[in-house]
Structure 1
Amino acid sequence: TSHRCRQGTRTFGDVVHRVGMSGVLEIGVIAIFAREFLEAAIIIGQFRTIIFKSSLDGERQKRANKIVWASAAVAFMIAFVMILITGIALGAANKNFSMVAAEIIEGVSKVVAAFAILLLSLKVPKWLGLYDATPDVEAEEHAKQGAFIAAWVGCIKMFDPNDPLEPSALKFNVGWNIWREMAEIGAFLFPYFLRDNQNPLLIPASAAVGIAVALVLGGFIYWANGRFSNKVPLAVFMATLTGWLATGLFTGGCHEFEEAVYFDCLEKSGVDCRMTPVVFEIGAKGSSGRFWRHWELPMTIFKPFGYSKYPTALMIAAFWSFFVVACGTHYWQYWQNKKAKLAQGASADEPVKSVATA
């Protein structure tokens, strides 16, 4: 983190000692677990909504809901076992990484998490029903992948693909989508499985926090969809919060790369190297400015959102560059939905004009 480099370090051994004492929580792991479990919760909620609004009688609705929960549980367990086996195998490998490699691994993890959370930010308005005119390209692609796998294993013969509530179709569709979300967690955790000198509680503790956040947000979205008629303020708030978090993660990831260069210089020359210039310092220097330190409470709460007491030139450039990208993608999504609505309105007016002309 920047305070190590900003304040100076006497020896490389001192740096290793201080950096090796990993914390129990990691924002990148929390973010990815929150994202994937929130998506899983939304998927389950969508299937339950389809069942509730279907023409199935009460008993068949109960059976369909049981299938949803059972399929989700089985898919989760399969993915969990796969991730656990992968983690044990990678954890047992020889990991004599240098500080440079450790910083690069952490930087890559944060950058990947940043783009994952940005995608989540883009999905929030659609989940709240604001972009109903725009087709869900990602959902369509996942459906194609599922259909391909089903055909490959011969499952396509077991059910009518045009009836999503047919029991066999429901089992496969729920299971495939939940397994896919959980498997993405395993792919993201690869750098953490490889990282040395890591607190063994980091992944499970961060996962627990991320899952709790996902369940709360998922339940809130499910409740809000049936409670509020005007969901624009809620969508703006949640999209802004997740977009800001994505921007902060990207900024932190870029700073890890900056620190990798710092440690590389320190390893090779043994001198206290400098990173890109510190643009400004927030708060007073010394103990009087302790309140503003991003590595201590209370300001460490804002660190995942890009806060730093000593922001460097690279951090500021990364923050505002990603901020522009996030705002641009949200505007593009809004404009695409607006164009789709105009096209739908034009096609709906076409028969009326034809009749009037006749």
Structure 2
Amino acid sequence: MSGVLEIGVIAIFAREFLEAAIIIGQFRTIIFKSSLDGERQKRANKIVWASAAVAFMIAFVMILITGIALGAANKNFSMVAAEIIEGVSKVVAAFAILLLSLKVPKWLGLYDATPDVEAEEHAKQGAFIAAWVGCIKMFDPNDPLEPSALKFNVGWNIWREMAEIGAFLFPYFLRDNQNPLLIPASAAVGIAVALVLGGFIYWANGRFSNKVPLAVFMATLTGWLATGLFTGGCHEFEEAVYFDCLEKSGVDCRMTPVVFEIGAKGSSGRFWRHWELPMTIFKPFGYSKYPTALMIAAFWSFFVVACGTHYWQYWQNKKAKLAQGASADEPVKSVATA
């Protein structure tokens, strides 16, 4: 993308802010569908927004301090190190977006809610830390709308999502000669994308009865983006090897062979260049005018992994439904035999 925008940073902010928006939306849904009276619902809603805001500010300050500290460090990286850092950042973003793609069907209610082991473990860790430092009073974990529980649950989950952004941004903090506007500008775009998608999901859940086409479209789009980011990351590693060879031997080393060229050569094929509009729009999705053997192998390998994980998730949900149906029929059979 341009020198001010970076698809990896946009993807990271979009993913984490979308998850944060979904978390806030879920708590608001629980509140307004609960048996609480109107005044208590308003207070609970204020707690959600206040806790989210405090958690966001704490995480933001932590990320800012980390970024300043790393930015002040000596970063005289070679081209090889720069390509490796960029490759790592894109591969990390690819797996983050793939996880987002897997969550889309759940958020749209197509899959039954299942216990989130990872989230439960995070909650246990957070509760232990909070109790140890005496930050909050003890609360009943079985009552998620009890004020102290609500403050902790919202605050901890929002802080965790925002803090993950800082971890994902480490490779970008370490870049040399980076445009100072790259992270804030890309973050603004990513947050805007997250708010639009989050609002759209919230609206679609109450609007459409058949959400299958929407889930397929969004899961496909995010899965395709993840595949493209992984492909781009692998190509950065390929370029790192190229520059390493060039620096050590002074010879113009070759990368893996270019399998084919899209469009005509020279100025007549300018339309198809992945570094110019309009085709640069598709570069984050894995497009290249000159795809190498490694890029093609990376694209289709990750594509198979993405499709396989989606199918595995679908099959696990189907098995869970069959098991629930069997357990529901068991008492009926027992009564009939009696």
TM-score normalised by length of structure 1: 0.92
Q: Secondary structure at the match of 2:136?
A: helix
1:22 CA displacement = 7.3
Q: Contact 1:146–1:173 (CA<8 Å) still a contact in 2? A: no
Query: Would the alpha carbon gap of residues 273 and 22 (structure 1) be closer, same or farther in structure 2, given more than 3 Å must change?
Result: farther
SS at match of 1:324: helix
Matching residue of 2:49: 69
CA RMSD of aligned residues (A): 1.3
Identify the residue that residue 128 of structure 2 maps to in structure 1. 148
Q: What is the CA distance between 1:268 and its match in structure 2?
A: 1.5
**Deviations 1:150-184, CA, capped at 9 Å, x for gaps:** 33334574321111101111001100000000000
Q: Which residue number corresponds to residue 89 of structure 1?
A: 69
Aligned counterpart in structure 1 of residue 187 of structure 2, from 204, 207, 225: 207
Report deviation, 1:142: 2.9
CA distance, structure 1, for counterparts of residue 109 and residue 153 of structure 2? 22
Would you say the 8 A contact 1:22–1:197 is kept in 2?
no
Tell me by how many angstroms 1:229 deviates: 0.8
Structure 1 residues 278-298: Cα deviation after superposition (integer angstroms, max 9, x where no partner): 000000000000000000000
Cα displacement string for residues 201-255 of structure 1 (whole angstroms, at most 9, x for unaligned residues): 0000000000000000000001111111111111100000000000000000000
Structure 1 residues 91, 133: closer, same or farther in 2, change over 3 A?
closer
Check whether the contact 2:97–2:222 (CA below 8 A) recurs between aligned residues.
Answer: yes
Higher mean Cα deviation, 157-166 or 185-194?
157-166
CA–CA separation in structure 1 for the residues paired with 2:231 and 2:191: 24
Matched, 1:290 2:290: no
The farther-off stretch of 299-308 and 146-155 is 146-155
More displaced stretch, 42-51 vs 137-146: 137-146
Identity across aligned pairs (percent)? 100
CA distance in 2, matches of 1:92, 1:133: 45
Correspondence for 2:86: 106
- Alpha-carbon offset, residue 133 of structure 1: 5.1
How big is each residue's C-alpha offset from its partner over 1:113-134, in whole Å with a ceiling of 9 and x where there is no partner?
0000000000000011111154
Deviations 1:92-148 (A, max 9, x none): 000000000000000000000000000000000001111115433333333333333
Q: Deviations over 1:52-91 (max 9, x none)?
A: 1100001110010000000000000000000000000000
Contact 2:131 2:138 in 1 (8 A): no
Q: Distance in 1 between matches of 2:234 and 2:330?
A: 52
Cα pair 1:279 1:313 within 8 Å, conserved = yes
TM-score w.r.t. length of structure 2 = 0.97
Aligned partners of 1:350, 1:175: CA distance in 2, in Å? 42
Number of aligned residue pairs: give it: 338
Q: Distance in 1 between matches of 2:328 and 2:271?
A: 60
Which has the larger displacement, 253-262 or 157-166?
157-166
Counterpart contact for 2:123–2:156, Cα < 8 Å: no
Secondary structure of the structure 1 residue equivalent to 2:137: helix
The SS at the match of 1:156 is coil
Q: Are the counterparts in 1 of residues 54 and 155 from structure 2 also a CA contact under 8 Å?
A: yes
Alpha-carbon distance between aligned partners in 1 of 2:113 and 2:322, rounded to the nearest angstrom: 9
Q: Is the 8 A contact 2:70 2:173 kept in 1?
A: yes
Find the residue that maps to 1:158 and give its secondary structure: coil
- In structure 1, runs of 5+ residues without a counterpart are 1-20
Query: C-alpha offsets along residues 15-62 of structure 1, whole Å, 9 cap, x if unaligned?
Result: xxxxxx971111000000000000000000000000011000011100
CA contact (8 A) 1:99 1:263 kept: yes
